[in-house]
Structure 1
Amino acid sequence: MATREDETDAAEKGIATDKAGEKNDIDRGLGDTLLEPKTDTPEHIYPDGGWRAWLVVTAAFFTFFFTVGLQYCSGTYIRFFYYNQTFGSASFTVISFISSVNNSGFPIAGPIVGSLAESKGPRFTVILGGIIAGASYIIASFSPGIWFSILFQGFFFSVGEVMVYMAGVRIVSMYFNRVRGLALGVALGGSGIGGLVMAVVTQRLLDTAGWQWALRVEGIVVVATALLASLLFTSIQPPNPRRVSLLASARSYFRDSRFVILWISNAIAFFGYFIPFSYLPSYATQVGIDASRASLVLGITNGGSAAGRIALGYFADKFGYLNMYVLCQIITPVAMLFWPITTSFPGLIAFGLAYGFSAGGWISSQPTMLASAFGGDNITGRLGVIMSATLAGALGGSPLAGAILDSRTTYDETGKAVIDFVPMILFGGITMLVGNLMLVWVWGQSTRWRLKKV
């Protein structure tokens, strides 16, 4: 039988162990620390349905609608700024930095915001993100020049956007497990449908109210939507405020060779991913389609993205998250390589639907794929690190594409620009194909090269 002295010794040893553990955490010296989110535990019960859970999905849907959806219709602004010479003689290369810098918010802020969404909670994150994103559009409406627009309409909007995105992914993941793919697909479908609707709405605002009021109206709507959605973003899984190094967390992820290849794959493929969203309206105008229908082509592409997010989320629950992720990664660049042969409005609609469907499934299946392949703990933390891989492609993809267009631009006898888009399209399609084919190895290592649900 243990004596009182034995119990006292044990208690003192426990205290000493705790202090030693705390000291080890401090002595790691791996840079600034962040709050590591609490991992999923068996005690956490997922509602997996019910009106309350689906109401949360609806709220997330509308936050994506007015943030990621606006990002996906940035090509409408690029076409308007270029052909109306809003910023003087600014070239495609320069104007496209609005889109590329906008895309950079996910890789730059993703790792930090992923931890923020888990440690501070989805409600705090969506409010902060909505205010930053909306205010950025409003401030951009007073832009004195192109670089001011790049900073606010591009970068600061994207920082707020990624906060809203991570908050939505986190809150939906709290409420769903068995049908998480479908639930996230429906929520993320808001970005595609938002791109469909907002491409047309943005063009109408540009035509009737001008670019400055278009930005102001959309900025106000972004803030209002985030504040309303926050009322439903109620956490049912409390965070764990245990401090660890961000670099230590990332290092643990990269110990898995599959994660390394996945990171490299995204780094290469994202040089081409956003090119259609940036240049489809300009391409449509070049082949003789008017501005309103050119914006509709981009809208239809985003509509296809919404359908892909929902449908492939459903099929991922049935056939495996990694399986559907790799399938989308292969189909997307193949679809893009058919772009140069589409020179009519119906042809561009068909291309937009095909590309949008597979590209939408690519993005929506990423969170569930990470949970399936690497475990359900810290989904947004892993997602943030994967997003960091896309920085070079997100920043450089559209400007490189714009530089290719500038180099392939001539002028006819009337002074009208004649642009050869084929080299740019091949650049985007080939970079995506090279990057995405690497995922076949990840799939093989995860399945032992056998067809099965994974």
Structure 2
Amino acid sequence: MSLATAKKFIGLRNDKPMSDSSHMKSKELDFVNVESLPKDDPHQVPDGGYGWFVVLGCMLFNMSTWGANSGYAIYLAHYLADDTFQGATKIDYAIIGGLSFASGTVLAPLINYLVGITNLTFVLVLGWIIQFIAVMLASWATKLWQLFLTQGVFFGIGMALVALSNVNVLPQWFKRKRNLAGGIAAAGSGGGIIFNVGMQAVMNEYGYQWALRAQAIICASLSFIGICLVRSRNKHIKPVYRILDKQVWSCFGTYMLMLWAITTMLGYVTLMYNLADFTRSLGYSASQGSVVSTMVAVGACSFRPLCGFIGDRLGPVSATILIHTFVFTLVFAMWIPTRNYATAVAFGILVGGTMGTVWVVMAGMATRVFGLKKVGVGLAALWIAIGVSGFCSPIIGISLKSDPPNGTETDPTQYVNPAIFVGFMYFASVLFLVILRAWLITRDEISVVVHGGHFEDSGDDLLLRVPPLQCIRNICRIRLPRKV
């Protein structure tokens, strides 16, 4: 592509051509001339060093938030089987799971802004306190509305304050190893091993109330260590903290990322929350169901760093296309025909290691689309999509579950409809990623000309216009100007 051709697609959204003087002065554009960047440019991230301690801290955060949240599967199975709260329906319990996922994530723009006006440590400590109190109070809930507030809304808010605010940190410490670092950190959500097997044992011995109390203490301890370890590089990066950003919301990549996140989460949460009860529908015990649910966590611990490594080798979008293709194939070929315990365990391990790739590559993809300065604003938009779809997912999964025939308590075909739904959601996520990949390739072609062959994470590429016809031609392109 020639310089003259590239210039056609560069400029503001109001179609005015760019001028050096106006852009260097414009606060709205935050424009940076890449060729004039000094050698100690803050966007040149350390790619290691103390960053590995930050990875450890983020891993502990993921263990105490998303790992604990995945443990809701055993509480859901218990509530459904034992009719714990009189008059509650299966939809009520599914809504609680949805609230724990969504009530905080939909507040992502406010959380990101709160980090900006205070600091990262303050927000982490606030979330740590709220999450601990919420789970403790849930253990004393005697009415359904109390469970809605504690294990649903307040737990979700506390979890989001911890989980969402730390995601923005890793891209500040890594570039070439960004997805590997994300994969190691995301492996922490495999802490569901503790919250599935461990809390199931406590539940069997002492009841679900003591399981919740034990979970609260474990999560608080893990988060405290994480708070001591995690440090941001905000003083170097000088990120943008806005509730809304015009450039982000007018970017085509934003909507492709959101659609990818929505379809992924509709499949991910539906599958994660229902595996334990699916095992019981085959005729196995609650303990065996918790083991299958735990295998998802085992898979996450084992395979997510590998998924991150693949993301660094191929690019986060290209790697996720391959991995999600494997997931929807696995769902159709293995989950639907599963009729025995051994197959359920194997499925749990394989799907557990691959279905949550969103947590591995999300920060890397967002940095790729928005740049380091605006990755927090871009991720906030992504978290809204994740929160809304995460709220709907358990309700959809439970609604699609069929009732067993009269006179029987189990039926191996109860989860056929949810399985079909999950498979098609992952298939749709692949389609959106294919479009996003073509768009990024085209934008990189223009960026090569504009930036003299140099790529930075400053966010300048948000200013580039991307022609749709060129995107179509790049859908199947193999040789790329930059990993996508």
The CA deviation at 1:133 is 1.1
- SS of residue in 2 equivalent to 1:390: helix
The CA deviation at 1:412 is 3.9
Contact 2:267 2:421 in 1 (8 A): yes
- The one of 431, 435, 440 equivalent to 1:437 is 431
- The one of 81, 84, 87 equivalent to 2:85 is 87
Task: Describe the shift of the 1:238–1:334 C-alpha distance in structure 2 as closer, same or farther (beyond 3 A).
Answer: same
Amino acid at match of 1:215: L
Match in the other structure for 2:391: 395
Aligned equivalents of 2:239 and 2:66: distance in 1? 31
The CA deviation at 1:89 is 4.5
- SS of residue in 2 equivalent to 1:150: helix
Contact 1:122 1:171 in 2 (8 A): no
Contact 1:123 1:167 in 2 (8 A): no
Structure 2 unaligned regions, length at least 5:
1-21, 29-39, 442-473
Please list, as runs of the form range in 1=range in 2, the aligned pairs for 1:2-21 lying within 5 A after superposition: none
- The one of 405, 409, 416 equivalent to 2:409 is 416
Task: Describe the shift of the 1:183–1:121 C-alpha distance in structure 2 as closer, same or farther (beyond 3 A).
Answer: farther
Identity of aligned residues (%): 23
Aligned equivalents of 1:436 and 1:106: distance in 2? 27
Match in the other structure for 1:372: 368
1:233 and 2:226 are equivalent in the alignment: no
Please list, as runs of the form range in 1=range in 2, the aligned pairs for 1:61-100 lying within 5 A after superposition: 61-100=59-98
Query: Aligned Cα RMSD in Å?
Result: 2.7
Aligned equivalents of 2:103 and 2:329: distance in 1? 27
- SS of residue in 1 equivalent to 2:229: coil
How many residue pairs were aligned?
413
Match in the other structure for 1:171: 169
Amino acid at match of 1:190: G
The CA deviation at 1:243 is 8.4
Structure 1 length-normalised TM:
0.83
Aligned equivalents of 1:186 and 1:67: distance in 2? 15
Please list, as runs of the form range in 1=range in 2, the aligned pairs for 1:240-259 lying within 5 A after superposition: 246-247=243-244, 249=245, 251-259=246-254
The CA deviation at 1:201 is 0.7
1:139 and 2:99 are equivalent in the alignment: no
Match in the other structure for 1:327: 322
Cα deviations by residue, 1:18-47 (Å, 9 ceiling, x for unpaired): xx999x9xxxxxxxxxxxxxxxx9235633
- The one of 406, 421, 443 equivalent to 1:427 is 421
Match in the other structure for 1:309: 304
The CA deviation at 1:98 is 1.8
Cα deviations by residue, 1:61-114 (Å, 9 ceiling, x for unpaired): 122112110111211100011111111243322211121111214541222223
Aligned equivalents of 2:173 and 2:158: distance in 1? 23
Structure 1 segments of 4+ aligned residues over 6 angstroms from their partners = 239-244
Cα deviations by residue, 1:213-258 (Å, 9 ceiling, x for unpaired): 11112112222322232222233432888987523x1x32132223
Match in the other structure for 1:284: 279
- SS of residue in 2 equivalent to 1:272: helix
Aligned equivalents of 1:117 and 1:178: distance in 2? 26
Aligned equivalents of 1:156 and 1:404: distance in 2? 27
- SS of residue in 2 equivalent to 1:219: helix
Contact 1:121 1:235 in 2 (8 A): no
Structure 2 length-normalised TM:
0.78
Match in the other structure for 2:48: 49
Amino acid at match of 1:202: M
Aligned equivalents of 1:170 and 1:279: distance in 2? 30
Cα deviations by residue, 1:412-436 (Å, 9 ceiling, x for unpaired): 43x6354722112212322332344
Structure 1 unaligned regions, length at least 5:
1-16, 25-40
1:352 and 2:348 are equivalent in the alignment: yes
1:161 and 2:154 are equivalent in the alignment: no
Cα deviations by residue, 1:244-290 (Å, 9 ceiling, x for unpaired): 7523x1x3213222322222333344322211211111110111222
- SS of residue in 1 equivalent to 2:107: helix
Aligned equivalents of 1:332 and 1:116: distance in 2? 36
Match in the other structure for 1:267: 262
